[in-house]
Amino acid sequence: MSGAGTNTTLIASGRPGPVIILVEPQLAENIGMVARAMANFGLSELRLVKPRDGWPSGGGLPKGAQQAASGATHILTQAALFGDVPAAIADLNIVFATTARERGQMKRVMTPAEAMPEVAARIGAGQRAGILFGRERTGLENEEVSLADAILSFPVDPAFASLNLAQAVLLTGYAWFQASQGDAAPITGTVGEPARRESLLSLIDFVTGELDRIGYFHPEKRDGMVQNLRDILIRRGMSEQDVRSLRGALVALVRGRG
Amino acid sequence: MSGAGTNTTLIASGRPGPVIILVEPQLAENIGMVARAMANFGLSELRLVKPRDGWPSGGGLPKGAQQAASGATHILTQAALFGDVPAAIADLNIVFATTARERGQMKRVMTPAEAMPEVAARIGAGQRAGILFGRERTGLENEEVSLADAILSFPVDPAFASLNLAQAVLLTGYAWFQASQGDAAPITGTVGEPARRESLLSLIDFVTGELDRIGYFHPEKRDGMVQNLRDILIRRGMSEQDVRSLRGALVALVRGRG
């Protein structure tokens, strides 16, 4: 058994996150998948309370765990091992227990989206936070839940509420990331700024001029039809590049017919 | 190949959800895990575009898929098979393509939390929505992405952005559920209403009275110490039951010493 010492859990931005604590996890593969889910959201401190099949105390990792971690090996090699839940949460200031079942305990029940802003604020104030996840089949025992400040429960369809271990950690990490980093996609779109109105109107003039030239409009319907075309072309939210591309295609069509 | 016909995707509350479309999934086990993740958030309509190992057209399911679905078998048995992406999205009004890579495409990039309120509004207005998920290793092809209205991308740590198929579906379902059902835990807490101030003050009077009786306070510090105790006991946010339980324990302590 070794404690986690003074490690802090750093994410890409350098901000520490909550500690993930697995209580008596059964399958090494699940521990690996948890590590992968943690890495997706920049969490890095993993604690294991009596994993069923043990855990190597230095050196290699269980094969199933390493494979399932899919590159998040650093989390597994730094995982700390504990003999019971009180030892695993001894240095923490705020602790949540995850459960999908009614416990009849005198605890607040919070969703990840409700809890994580508080966790982020507490961590920002220098406190340490941790989240307990129970055994694959049976979850946390009531005595373990009673050690937590509050219950963390996931907003799922009550008719199908069972989440596996890595999925529960994934949703927790997602909510943590949103609370601490905001909801920003890692990639950016290339839609471009909306076109200047001048470019759009010039395109519309070109199209209506060509259509006038070939006698496309019924004279008594022309005003309405032009307005429809104008609405269609303006409503697209086209960029300058879009307008140029579309104009190029239309010019080619006109020439092909000329 | 068979289309999905006029099925609607109903969740527990009877509200239809977006269709989940897997493009050339490789492993039956992953299809099963996707079904499980869908069921967690009340999604039920699954479409498969050319699964690598085929898909039985009636009767049994691939063994790995059924096992991984962990009870969400109804989603697998109702899954519809398609020969290409255009056929799989033909009846949809709004389509998102998921990707973690920059595509250089002229598309909006949205996170699930940004996109799902729009999806919920469109579905509420009677439209049908779908979300494309690519192959396990290589994702969607650019040509497939270009068929979508917008790109859906997940707010993850850019240093570890790879999500597996079921995890991507899980986060999508979670965001959909939050947008359409709100963020409510499936279980309720039993914290109870906060105690009436009368009960709290009565407890505080009892404690200070007993401490006076045994000469616990330094006379010159009494006021400050009583105020500290009052702050500590009031700050707990105790319920009536909490106050009764604590008072019972304190009375017993006093009697034990008397």
**Tens-place pLDDT, residues A98-143:** 998 877 777 889 999 999 999 999 999 999 999 999 999 999 999 9
DSSP of A15-29: -B-PEEEEES---HH
Encode B45-60: b = buried (16+ Cβ within 10 Å), e = exposed.
bbbbbbbeeebeeeee
Confirm if A80 and A4 have CB atoms less than 8 A apart.
yes
How many Cβ atoms from other residues are within 10 Å of residue B70's Cβ? 15
CA distance A108 to chain B (A): 5
Highest mean pLDDT (candidates A205-209, B112-116, B202-206): B112-116
Q: Does A75 touch chain B (CB under 8 A)?
A: no
Highest mean pLDDT (candidates B124-138, B206-220, B228-242): B124-138
Q: Among candidates A251, A210, A245, A253, which has minimal Cα distance to A229? A: A210
What is the distance between the alpha carbons of residues B92 and B195, in angstroms, rounded to a whole number?
54
> Does A106 contact B239 at a Cβ distance shorter than 8 Å?
yes
Mean pLDDT over residues B70-97, rounded? 94
What are the structure tokens assigned to A6, written together? 């003074």
In chain B, residues with a C-beta closer than 8 Å to the C-beta of A239 are 106
CB neighbours of B254 closer than 8 A, spacing ≥ 6? B210
Q: What is Dmax (Cα atoms) for chain B? A: 89
Confirm if B237 and A108 have CB atoms less than 8 A apart.
no
Nearest-by-Cβ selection for A183 from B102, B111, B161: B111
Report the predicted TM-score, pTM, of the whole model to 2 decimal places: 0.83
Nearest-by-Cβ selection for B161 from A106, A151, A186: A186
**Tens-place pLDDT, residues A239-258:** 888 888 888 878 877 887 54
What are the structure tokens assigned to A51, written together? 């994993």
A151 SS3 class: strand
Task: Specify the DSSP element, H or E, that contains A181.
Answer: helix A165-181
What is the distance between the alpha carbons of residues A115 and A95, in angstroms, rounded to a whole number?
11
Percentage of chain A with pLDDT > 70? 92
CB neighbours of A147 closer than 8 A, spacing ≥ 6? A85, A86, A89, A95, A97, A132
